[in-house]
Amino acid sequence: QQDIHIEIILPPEGFVVTNEEQTRWFAVAYDPLVGMENGDGIDVVEFEIRNLHGATLYTRTEESNPRCVFSNRLGQTQCLRMSDTSANLYNQLGNGRYILRAKATANDGTMSVWDERSFIMA
């Protein structure tokens, strides 16, 4: 059996955020037994943002492509920004380092491992 593929594309590891336009983040996920295109065989992608103490500050479950960290408006291909979340996360996160995590669940219930990227709010 091949593992479920999950990869955070944006942000890259260690990315320094200096304005909210830089937060249109997304991941790609697929079940290689179904196909190699983004979303093939995937039910949902779960996202989390944690601080360095391990506390979860944000969670979201994405059910369609593109697999946006902060959602996309129906029918649009561009991901929303961190500030577009209901909690206005961009203004709530203070300066410092955070961890973005993503995990995919396939249609058959198989789960990927967590993919992680650190990012810095500056």
Chain-centre distance of CA 93, in angstroms?
Answer: 16
Q: Looking at residues 64-89, what average pLDDT do you find?
A: 84
pLDDT of 72 reads 77
Query: How confident is the model over 104-122, as pLDDT tens digits?
Result: 999 999 999 999 999 999 9
What's the pTM?
A: 0.94
Please count the structural domains in the chain: 1
pLDDT of 26 reads 96
Q: Tell me, what DSSP letter sits at residue 90?
A: H
Task: Evaluate whether 78 touches 92 at the Cβ level (below 8 Å).
Answer: no
Question: At 94, phi and psi to the nearest 5?
Answer: -80, 175
pLDDT of 75 reads 66
29 to 15, 87, 95, 99, 115: CA distances (angstroms): 21, 26, 30, 19, 11
CATH number of the domain at 80, please: 2.60.40.10
88 band by pLDDT with thresholds 50, 70 and 90: confident
Residues 6+ apart with CB under 8 A from 81: 20, 21, 23, 24, 70, 90
Higher pLDDT: 66 or 51? It is: 51
- The percentage of residues in the chain with a pLDDT greater than 90, rounded to a whole number, is 82
- Which domain, by its residues, includes 51? 5-121
Amino acid at site 83: S
Residue 37 has pLDDT above 80, yes or no: yes
